[in-house]
Chain A
């Protein structure tokens, strides 16, 4: 079976914030209406809806079912949910379009990250026998990975601070970014450790956010966008969940996903990497062989606004927008999931 050409044709994102008093449904609804308005199609023309979120974040089983209230599911629609980042929902929607069952799909995700202690909540994703009962939290686990990278001489704390300083400065140009600051690596290094060897700037800022993306196939995509962001390759790989059994100093799953997605076939103008920790951006750049010619995270990335379960799909939105505007021709969007880059989804998109 030949592969269908599928593109992102529209995106919408909420400004990231802390301490939102909206419900998850109220958070998502305007974003969905916004992305539909951008392409100007009737709701009924959307053949598939796919949602990414995490029930643990709202503390309610089946809380994702309430999100259906936000999408105007009447008359009844075809929809699905992924217990994870919206980028994984995008992957499911891409597969759905490949089956030929629909031509247009809407993907959305939301994360009310600040309504609970996200570091503890994500701990519930870890190995339930050996890790979760110790309650380490993702910051502490990521700090173990960072230490291994520092010990191995792969990077320095100054390299990590440089990633943060660049992200905070780039965020000044992104109206929906939460943390933004004209700061140097030297200034950041003077600040205290939080989870040594990590400092506050090494860890993504938990925020509340929501976003939505419309995918379309072939002629439908061409009719809905002036310059669609065509998906040329997409791949998802997972490393072992046994924390000690995989390398702390490289990401084999990211490397394989990048190779399968065709990252190395040509230059990448912009790479939106979902790296919630500074050292992880460096690990990902190494795993994907991204060189100096690639601008990494011009949006500021997940370091400056990290809405859990929506930060990966946000990378797809940012990368696609750079194709829409013509500021880039070939871009990379990435999403990670699980502790210490356990899962990696890599997608290459191009303009025509």
Chain B
């Protein structure tokens, strides 16, 4: 508690421990990350491939997702922003780029960092590939990928696709 102008401020930390379950339908995706494989899931209704298959369901069809589908590892930037604002706990040198990446074979884009190029060179349609951390640092997480970097391939015309995902 601190006192300022007679007003007390209370600090009351709370802690609760949970047994969190990723659920059976996201488990193959998380196990894939442990092996360095990017696994999405296909909706048996609309056939869209979700990566990551979060919650294990297709939100359009309200169906449990079906077959595993290996996607990527390369993908295309569908949109991005340049981060110039410093904040507490920031680990990356400013400015940097956060991008939505549509992995090859997936229908839903995912967010990750773009590094190893100037922020001003990043563009929609740019082809990128993952740079994995050292295997000793891997867990069941997309954080196994340190960032994505340009592949140097010709840009892909995203057109309507960029907006759709």
Interface string of B6-28 (1 = CB under 8 A from A): 00001010101111111111100
Chain B's interface size range is 20 to 34
Q: Tell me the bound Cα distance from A148 to B158 in angstroms.
A: 70
**Quick check: A69 and B59 within 8 Å, CB to CB?**
yes
Q: How far is the CB of A120 from chain B (nearest CB, A)?
A: 6
- When distances are taken between beta carbons in the complex, the residues of chain A under 8 Å from B62 are 29, 32-33, 43, 70-72
Given A23-B56, A32-B62, A132-B12, A117-B17 contact (CB < 8 Å):
yes
- When distances are taken between beta carbons in the complex, the residues of chain B under 8 Å from A74 are 59-60
Q: Tell me the bound Cα distance from A227 to B64 in angstroms.
A: 32
**Quick check: A29 and B64 within 8 Å, CB to CB?**
yes
For the complex, would chain A's binding face be called helix, strand, loop or mixed by DSSP majority? helix
Q: How far is the CB of B81 from chain A (nearest CB, A)?
A: 21
**B25 nearest CB neighbor, chain A only:** A26
Please list 14 pairs of residues, one from A and one from B, whose beta carbons are closer than 8 Å in the complex, sorted by A's number. A21-B24, A23-B23, A25-B23, A26-B23, A30-B64, A68-B59, A69-B54, A70-B59, A115-B19, A115-B20, A116-B19, A117-B16, A121-B16, A124-B14
Q: Tell me the bound Cα distance from A216 to B56 in angstroms.
A: 31
**Quick check: B17 and A26 within 8 Å, CB to CB?**
no
Chain B residues in the interface with A (C-beta under 8 A): 10, 12, 14, 16-26, 54-57, 59-64
**Quick check: B61 and A23 within 8 Å, CB to CB?**
no
The list of the 8 closest CB pairs from A to B, nearest first, reads A72-B62, A23-B23, A25-B55, A69-B59, A74-B60, A116-B18, A21-B21, A59-B18
User: B17, B19, B20, B61: which contacts A72 (Cβ < 8 A)?
Assistant: B61
**Quick check: B17 and A115 within 8 Å, CB to CB?**
no
Number of interchain pairs (Cβ within 8 Å): 78
For the complex, would chain B's binding face be called helix, strand, loop or mixed by DSSP majority? loop
**A72 nearest CB neighbor, chain B only:** B62
**Which positions 1-52 of chain A face chain B at CB distance < 8 Å?**
20-23, 25-26, 29-30, 32-33, 43
- When distances are taken between beta carbons in the complex, the residues of chain A under 8 Å from B63 are 29
**Which positions 50-74 of chain A face chain B at CB distance < 8 Å?**
56, 58-59, 66, 68-74
Q: Tell me the bound Cα distance from A147 to B27 in angstroms.
A: 47
Given A43-B62, A70-B62, A74-B59, A23-B21 contact (CB < 8 Å):
yes
Q: Tell me the bound Cα distance from A98 to B64 in angstroms.
A: 34
- When distances are taken between beta carbons in the complex, the residues of chain B under 8 Å from A26 are 23-25, 55-57, 64
Q: Tell me the bound Cα distance from A120 to B14 in angstroms.
A: 10
Instruction: Give the number of chain A interface residues (Cβ < 8 Å).
Output: 33
Tell me, yes or no, whether A133 is within 8 Å of chain B by CB.
yes
Q: Tell me the bound Cα distance from A115 to B23 in angstroms.
A: 12
- When distances are taken between beta carbons in the complex, the residues of chain A under 8 Å from B16 are 56, 59, 116-117, 120-121, 124
User: B10, B18, B24, B61: which contacts A115 (Cβ < 8 A)?
Assistant: B18
**Quick check: B60 and A72 within 8 Å, CB to CB?**
yes
Tell me, yes or no, whether A128 is within 8 Å of chain B by CB.
yes
**Quick check: B55 and A66 within 8 Å, CB to CB?**
yes
- When distances are taken between beta carbons in the complex, the residues of chain A under 8 Å from B57 are 25-26, 29, 69-70
Q: How far is the CB of B44 from chain A (nearest CB, A)?
A: 13
Q: Tell me the bound Cα distance from A26 to B55 in angstroms.
A: 7
User: B12, B21, B54: which contacts A20 (Cβ < 8 A)?
Assistant: B21
Q: How far is the CB of B30 from chain A (nearest CB, A)?
A: 12
Q: Tell me the bound Cα distance from A121 to B16 in angstroms.
A: 7
- When distances are taken between beta carbons in the complex, the residues of chain A under 8 Å from B56 are 23, 25-26
